[in-house]
A = this chain, B = another copy of it.
Amino acid sequence: MPDGSGAARLGVLSRPGCVGLCEQCRIRGLAVCRALEPQALDELAALATRLELPAKKLLFDEGEPARSLFTLVEGVVKLYKALPDGRRQITGFLLPGDFLGLAHFTSYAYSAEAVTEVGLCRFPREGFLRLLERHPALERELLSRASSELAAAQEQMLLLGRKSAKERVASFLLSFARRQAMVGRELVALPMSRNDIADYLGLTIETVSRSIRAVEEEGLIRLVDRHHYRVVDPDRLRRAAAAG
């Protein structure tokens, strides 16, 4: 259990209701971002409210006024954009510690939906932006996160524009394992549906299913069940993903 200064260092995530979540946060959370002064963390904590949502619950919808920003504390969230006729593109899956809601304008540019049960910290937009002005270190952290998201988006454009179905699936399985720091034989959870994977990779569920099967039959991964796999041969998987 963190003492007073420990609580300050863990910021918003060590508030009542967040106990037990600090493990992830220490690794990935906004609260422990480099060089953020205890002062800023306390102010962040004062601003935050805790939020829990069941799986499949919409967090916010594209075009809706952006009133809040969030850090994901627990569970998985998907971000997506949709066309009027219902075609969807999932632009990313968020894991605990990820930040969401930075809107360039005053409304969200994408929708966010809980994939699993999720726990979040919510920050009201106004207060957060004022806090941002007073704490350049926080702004730096956001800039750093935005540029790594941008790099990930560019990688995804390469995938969507130029990779074959099998390469897409291999890339996805590899990068998802990587994000959980599991490229060995540890079990990797795949909490989203085949439909979500398809909408993330620009494919159909049938093609996703067949491609996963193909990757498994080549011995690059081992499917434990629909929602769990092991990376069996990281090197060949990397090659099947056309580098990454």
Residues of A within 8 A of B (CB): 79, 81, 83-85, 87-89, 91, 102-104, 109-110, 132-133, 136, 139-140, 142-144, 146-151, 153-158, 160-163, 199, 201-202, 242-243
B162 engages A87 (CB within 8 Å):
yes
**What residues of chain B lie closer than 8 Å to A148, measured between beta carbons?**
104
A161 engages B160 (CB within 8 Å):
yes
**What residues of chain B lie closer than 8 Å to A199, measured between beta carbons?**
161
| Interface contacts beyond A102-B147, A139-B143: sample of 13 additional A-B pairs, CB < 8 Å, sorted by A | A81-B154, A81-B158, A88-B162, A102-B150, A110-B154, A136-B136, A136-B139, A139-B139, A146-B146, A149-B150, A150-B150, A153-B154, A160-B202
The smallest beta-carbon distance between A164 and chain B, in angstroms, is 10
**CB<8 Å pairs between A and B, sample of 8:** A79-B154, A81-B154, A83-B163, A84-B242, A85-B242, A102-B150, A142-B143, A146-B147
Given contacts A104-B148, A143-B146, A154-B153, contact A201 B161 (CB under 8 A): yes
Give complex CA distance A79, B153 in Å: 13
B146 engages A109 (CB within 8 Å):
no
A103 engages B147 (CB within 8 Å):
yes
**What residues of chain B lie closer than 8 Å to A158, measured between beta carbons?**
81, 83, 89, 91
One complex includes copies of this chain to the number of: 2
Which of A88, A133, A158, A161 has most chain B Cβ within 10 Å?
Answer: A161
The smallest beta-carbon distance between A135 and chain B, in angstroms, is 9
Lowest 9 A-B CB distances belong to which pairs?
A161-B202, A160-B160, A153-B153, A146-B146, A89-B158, A136-B136, A89-B161, A104-B147, A87-B162
The smallest beta-carbon distance between A232 and chain B, in angstroms, is 23
**What residues of chain B lie closer than 8 Å to A147, measured between beta carbons?**
102-104, 146
